Chain A
């Protein structure tokens, strides 16, 4: 079908976008890359009265070093993240996950901020940002606040953003030395939404023991799932044998996956073990250890 009628504004500055959101509140919807919102409009599942198109707010598209990590503007395209040297060298897991989002024509338009604010529980970047302990900046006219990623996602397609707020920046902290990362997912076909995906970050000491692990899953519950119990099991241990088995079990136990036409909940839990093991082993190898 075709989108329903709406009023349309295409501001060129962040402040103009925030003023429009302050004026229209929950009558308005922000249009970023449009790769999820346009289908919803075409199906008429979304009928916003006002569309605030932020695609011409050039000042929101950037990747720059910040505090040993990166500051990423919300309008940065997924394809730009995938290609960014700074992203690939400082937080390669972001580039690795972006390559699994849809297909190239989708990633040319899709943005990091749009993906996070849409909060599809099956999508990759929310889980990656939770694992990275990224900080998200929500701006409103005249004010801004910063939220940790795991407090940003509150439910299926639901975030802590108010109707007058715009997600403007993602801050990803730098990773300690001897940290390996991996994002692994399983999908029916290349480019489909993942049935389950796992983001793993593992830091090793000189003896090959885990000093810190961070694990988060997508497709495993209403929001990204942080597998803290599994992280605790790995801490201080060599990430192989019994410790790895136990971590993978705890990771699966932390999930509350949906069952649908693509996979039952029980099958998704089984996949979480399988994919979780792959992601941890790959992250350990990349950290220079053995798994």
Chain B
């Protein structure tokens, strides 16, 4: 049983990291401060705003409601993992074209919610898109444009669907 820092291993966007963290270190702070991946934003720190949403082993999770030690051995995708070689991911491109962002603070979380939705449901209805993004807050109230961005991404099959079953 430990109160002091211990070393954990995580794979973030395909890159393996080993990092020493105190048990009380939140996953979001580990990503931002220990690994320098500041694309994941931190807002409310109590699981309401959703901007810190990342994928842990393929599932959306609020990284302010998870300890870094709990992610030991996990595979994590952050917003930095979407673009490849400096080119926007097709999902990001759809957000750009449909103006699915204004200030951009909620965007990393919205992108990962949308990524999971489209992976599991290639042709979501508008209601399904609204339900999915209702998990996160946008205080510019750009929700309408975010819905349109996700619809555009769905039309373009921007996210590969999960294998059936």
Contact = CB atoms under 8 A, between A and B. Distances in A.
A189 B1 contact: no
Given A2-B45, A190-B134, 11 more contacts: A6-B24, A8-B23, A35-B47, A38-B26, A42-B46, A43-B46, A79-B59, A103-B134, A109-B61, A109-B66, A189-B134
19 contacts: A1-B45, A2-B29, A8-B1, A35-B65, A38-B47, A38-B65, A38-B66, A39-B46, A42-B45, A42-B46, A43-B46, A50-B1, A51-B23, A102-B135, A103-B134, A105-B62, A106-B47, A109-B66, A189-B134
A190 B127 CA distance: 12
Of residues A1, A50, A53, A109, which shows the largest number of chain B Cβ atoms within 10 Å of its Cβ? A109
A55 interface: yes
Interface string B88-115: 0000000000000000000000000100
A7 B62 CA distance: 23
A191 B23 contact: no
A105 B1 contact: no
B3 A7 contact: yes
Nearest to A9: B1
A4 B24 contact: yes
Interface string A31-54: 000110011011100000011010
B62 A106 contact: yes
Contacts of B65: 34-35, 38-39, 109
Contacts of B3: 5-8
Nearest to A190: B134
A79 to B, nearest CB: 8
A108 B60 contact: yes
A18 B118 CA distance: 41
A105 B45 contact: no
A106 B60 CA distance: 9
Contacts of A162: none
B161 interface: no
Given A35-B47, A38-B47, A42-B46, A7 B1 contact: yes
A53 B70 contact: yes
Interface in B21-52: 22-24, 26, 29, 45-47, 50
**Range of interface residues on chain B?**
20 to 34
A104 interface: yes
Of residues B46, B53, B65, B132, which shows the largest number of chain A Cβ atoms within 10 Å of its Cβ? B65
Of residues B26, B61, B67, B131, which shows the largest number of chain A Cβ atoms within 10 Å of its Cβ? B67
A10 interface: yes
Interface in A99-137: 102-106, 108-109
Interface of A: 1-10, 20, 34-35, 38-39, 41-43, 50-51, 53, 55, 79, 102-106, 108-109, 189-191
Contacts of A43: 46
Of residues A10, A55, A104, which shows the largest number of chain B Cβ atoms within 10 Å of its Cβ? A104
B69 interface: yes
Given A50-B1, A104-B60, A108-B60, A3 B24 contact: yes
B64 to A, nearest CB: 7
Contacts of B47: 35, 38-39, 106
A8 B46 CA distance: 20
B70 A104 contact: no
Contact of B64 (A20, A42, A79, A104): A42
B135 A104 contact: yes
Given A9-B1, A35-B65, A105-B62, A190 B131 contact: yes
Contacts of B26: 2-3, 38, 42
Given A5-B3, A34-B65, A38-B65, A55 B45 contact: no
A193 B22 CA distance: 32
B2 interface: yes
Contacts of B113: 104-105
A191 to B, nearest CB: 6
Contact of B69 (A8, A20, A105, A106): A8
A83 to B, nearest CB: 11
A105 B2 contact: no
In the A-B complex, the 3 residue pairs with the closest CB atoms:
A103-B135, A8-B23, A39-B46
